[in-house]
Structure 1
Amino acid sequence: MNTELSVRTQQPTGAFVFASWVALLVGALTYMVGLWNAAMALNEKGYYFTLLLYGLFAAVSLQKSVRDKAEGIPVTGLYMGLCWLSVGLVMLLLGVGLWNATLAMSEKGFYGMAFCLALFSAIAVQKNIRDLAPYKKAEAMSKLDDAGAEA
């Protein structure tokens, strides 16, 4: 890892980690419950569900790629471009789908907000997992060292 580019990260608090997971679950589950109860054709429900899955994957991939690049881990320009394109496309596809949907404006807002909450919190959850990894690794190494000292 390039030490000049590495950024010292602080361990996220338990409250922030918990809030991130709750936000992800609330956003994704609310969106899916809305789809389950929606009076729309099954193919429409499938479209919106696929957008949620694609969006979550694209957002996490983009966050990981940006973080890798910031830490000096090689990321190809092609992959970084695909990540940005995917996030942009999923937002565009959701916007076009909701614009053309025969839903009440409140329902359109509901889906848009639940979708954005799920995407944003997925990024926060992935960031927390990555930020906690060095601390968990150090803790595991410490336990190994303690076990070795006792033996």
Structure 2
Amino acid sequence: MEEESVKPEAVIKKKKDNEAPSFAFVGATWLVLFVGVIAYLIGLYNADMQLNEKGYYFTILLFGLFSAVTLQKSVRDKLEGIPVTNIFFAISWFGTIVSIILLIVGLWNAELALSEKGFYGMSYTLSLFAAVSVQKNIRDTMETNK
């Protein structure tokens, strides 16, 4: 049997486990979060909807952001060996999925132009992804500062 040799390039390119995210990446994720949330809120402000409809979409945004961050945290805790109860993990998944379904159902039934529906869907997705990235960056930074 031949021994496999490790190439020095592979060792150099491997990211350290305790390396903090770069300042540029942290700044970019915060910027994307603000852009997504502010775009969504400006769209709600300018929309020709009743106040209760605007409240529905605003609540879905808050619920989605919270549930996505909670899901990311529980997944990361499990990967790092931090105990997470199965019920909490299941509720995190359930909340995230339900928030997305509620947005889809609301937009499907809304009397909005197709472009407006797409705008809300894209800004919502952008906001959820950015919230997860921001939470991950915060956690990574905390790990390196221990």
Query: What range is the shorter-chain TM-score in?
Result: 0.7 to 0.9
Match among 100, 125, 132 for residue 116 of structure 1: 125
Q: CA deviation at 1:119?
A: 0.3
Structure 2 match to 1:89: 98
Q: CA deviation at 1:66?
A: 0.2
Match among 47, 59, 63 for residue 56 of structure 2: 47
The residue type equivalent to 1:71 in the other structure is E
**Aligned ranges 1:13-24 → 2 under 5 Å:** 13-24=22-33
The alignment of Structure 1 onto Structure 2 pairs a total of residues equal to 131
Distance 1:121 1:34 in 2: 18
Which ranges of structure 2 fall in alignment gaps of 5 or more residues?
1-15
Q: CA deviation at 1:11?
A: 1.4
The residue type equivalent to 2:145 in the other structure is K
Match among 109, 119, 138 for residue 129 of structure 1: 138
1:102 aligns to what SS in structure 2?
Answer: coil
Distance 2:18 2:57 in 1: 36
The residue type equivalent to 1:126 in the other structure is Q
The residue type equivalent to 2:40 in the other structure is Y
1:11 aligns to what SS in structure 2?
Answer: coil
The residue type equivalent to 2:48 in the other structure is A
Normalization by structure 2: what TM-score? 0.87
Distance 1:42 1:108 in 2: 17
Distance 1:8 1:108 in 2: 41
Give percent identity, aligned residues only: 58
Runs ≥4 residues deviating over 3 A = none
Distance 1:23 1:9 in 2: 25
Q: CA deviation at 1:8?
A: 2.3
Deviations 1:18-46 (A, max 9, x none): 01000000000100010011000000000
Superposition RMSD in Å: 1.1
Q: CA deviation at 1:136?
A: 2.7
Deviations 1:107-143 (A, max 9, x none): 0000000000000000000000000002233xxxxxx
Distance 1:47 1:79 in 2: 25
Q: CA deviation at 1:71?
A: 0.3
The residue type equivalent to 2:76 in the other structure is R
